């Protein structure tokens, strides 16, 4: 990518936020919704950590009827709910999309299948209440960062008719739980201190891709030593082999956990590349009747 292209994309990103008046550190959420009215399945208590939720961010001006459920990262132990949650929701709002930020339960208090169940329920809930949220039942995607990217890839490969996402966005995702480049913290927080090898294989998303896996956009960097880009490459190759539409962007520089990377003139173009992909898939406008 030449310097002129980088500058053009950077200015386009800046213009998008300026036009939308988006303050990426300020919440514009309408409401926070419990995934289950009563206790969540497998709940170990009734504290905040035991209650998975979705926080709804409707756009000021909707350009389409797609929705994106955002799963922040944090190694399945914490949630980076600001720069991988609220800021991302406001970015999506600026593009005219409806966003939901998922608060899923975490290890070491909770292990699989609780986290996957929370993500599946989030998609099912938005789909079942699509009319209320002003979105289309068949245009509900999931976006995940780091361990949240693993969760997004897991729900993209383990689903029923109600919980299948229609598209996925994976940002420096954990993918493999068996390879040498596995993120060990995510592995142990999700599966415990002595992970079952068979279960780790089942939750290594590169081995679970089929022709029905949702179209996917991936972003990572070669300099990420926390969750190496081999994770993204492995998933992309599996998607490509299965004939699933996929787009992969690996930047040379940039650490793990950059979020939207708005202060980096090089990395900050990746959200614009994402918008290009969403536009190509017709997700930034309502489909013609």
Q: Pick the residue with more confidence: 1 or 162?
A: 162
Q: Which tens digit of pLDDT belongs to each residue from 90-119?
A: 999 999 999 999 999 999 999 999 999 999
pLDDT band at 252 (very low <50, low <70, confident <90, very high): very high
Given a contact cutoff of 8 angstroms between Cβ atoms, the answer to whether 233 and 64 are in contact is no
Question: What is the number of other CB atoms lying within 10 angstroms of the CB of residue 277?
Answer: 20
The b/e string for 40-71 (b: 16+ C-beta within 10 A; e otherwise) is: beebeeeeeeebbbbbbbbbeeeebbbbbbbb
pLDDT band at 2 (very low <50, low <70, confident <90, very high): low
If we measure between CA atoms, which residue out of 287, 278, 289, 288 comes closest to residue 94? 278
Please indicate, yes or no, if residue 38 is contained in any of the structural domains.
no
Please indicate, yes or no, if residue 51 is contained in any of the structural domains.
no
pLDDT band at 20 (very low <50, low <70, confident <90, very high): very low
List the CATH number of the domain containing 118.
Answer: 3.40.50.1820
Taking 60 as the threshold, does the pLDDT of residue 3 lie above it?
Answer: no
Please indicate, yes or no, if residue 235 is contained in any of the structural domains.
yes
Please indicate, yes or no, if residue 33 is contained in any of the structural domains.
no
pLDDT band at 29 (very low <50, low <70, confident <90, very high): low
Please indicate, yes or no, if residue 188 is contained in any of the structural domains.
yes
pLDDT given at position 23: 45
Full domain range(s) for residue 85: 3-28+57-280
- 3-state SS of the chain is CCHHHHHHHHHHHHHHHHHHCCCCCCCCCCEEEECCCCCCCCCCCCCHHHCCEEEEECCCCCCCCCEEEEECCCCCCCCCCHHHHHHHHHHHHHCCCEEEEEECCCCCCCCCCHHHHHHHHHHHHHHHCHHHHCCCCCCEEEEEECHHHHHHHHHHHCCCCCCCCCEEEEECCCCCCCCCCCCHHHHHHHHCCCCCHHHHHHCCHHHCCCCCCCCEEEEEECCCCCCCCHHHHHHHHHHHHHCCCEEEEEECCCCCCCCCCCCCCCHHHHHHHHHHHHHHCCCCCCCCC
Number of structural domains, the chain? 1
Please indicate, yes or no, if residue 288 is contained in any of the structural domains.
no
| Mean of the per-residue pLDDT values of the chain | 92
Instruction: Say how far apart CA 176 and CA 178 lie, in whole Å.
Output: 6
Please indicate, yes or no, if residue 172 is contained in any of the structural domains.
yes
* Structure token pair of residue 39: 């206790």
Handedness of CA 26, 30, 34, 36 (dihedral sign): negative
Please indicate, yes or no, if residue 39 is contained in any of the structural domains.
no
pLDDT given at position 287: 86
pLDDT given at position 27: 44
Instruction: Say how far apart CA 245 and CA 56 lie, in whole Å.
Output: 28
Q: Which tens digit of pLDDT belongs to each residue from 197-220?
A: 999 999 999 999 999 999 999 999
């Amino acid at each position: 990518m030449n310097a002129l292209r980088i500058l053009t994309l950077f200015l386009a990103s800046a213009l998008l936020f300026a036009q939308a008046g988006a303050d990426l550190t300020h919440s514009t959420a309408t409401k926070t919704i419990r995934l289950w009215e009563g206790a969540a399945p497998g709940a170990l208590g009734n504290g905040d950590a035991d209650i998975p939720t979705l926080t709804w961010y409707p756009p000021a001006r909707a350009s389409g009827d797609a929705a994106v459920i955002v799963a922040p990262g944090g190694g399945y132990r914490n949630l980076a709910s600001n720069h991988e949650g609220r800021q991302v929701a406001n970015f999506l709002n600026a593009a005219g999309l409806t966003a939901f930020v998922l608060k899923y339960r975490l290890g070491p208090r909770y292990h699989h299948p609780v986290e996957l169940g929370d993500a599946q329920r989030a998609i099912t809930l938005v789909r079942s209440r699509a009319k209320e949220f002003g979105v289309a039942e068949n245009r509900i995607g999931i976006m995940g960062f780091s361990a949240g990217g693993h969760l997004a890839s897991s729900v993209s490969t383990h689903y029923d008719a109600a919980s299948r996402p229609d598209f996925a966005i994976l940002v420096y995702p954990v993918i493999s739980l068996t390879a040498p480049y596995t993120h060990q913290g995510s592995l142990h927080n999700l599966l415990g201190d002595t992970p079952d090898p068979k279960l780790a294989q089942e939750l290594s998303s590169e081995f679970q891709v089929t022709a029905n896996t949702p179209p996917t956009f991936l972003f990572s960097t070669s300099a990420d030593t926390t969750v190496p880009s081999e994770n993204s490459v492995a998933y992309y190759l599996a998607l490509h082999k299965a004939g699933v539409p996929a787009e992969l962007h690996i930047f040379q520089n940039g650490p793990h956990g950059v979020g939207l990377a708005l202060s980096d003139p090089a990395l900050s173009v990746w959200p614009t590349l994402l918008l290009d992909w969403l536009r190509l898939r017709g997700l930034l406008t309502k489909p013609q009747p």
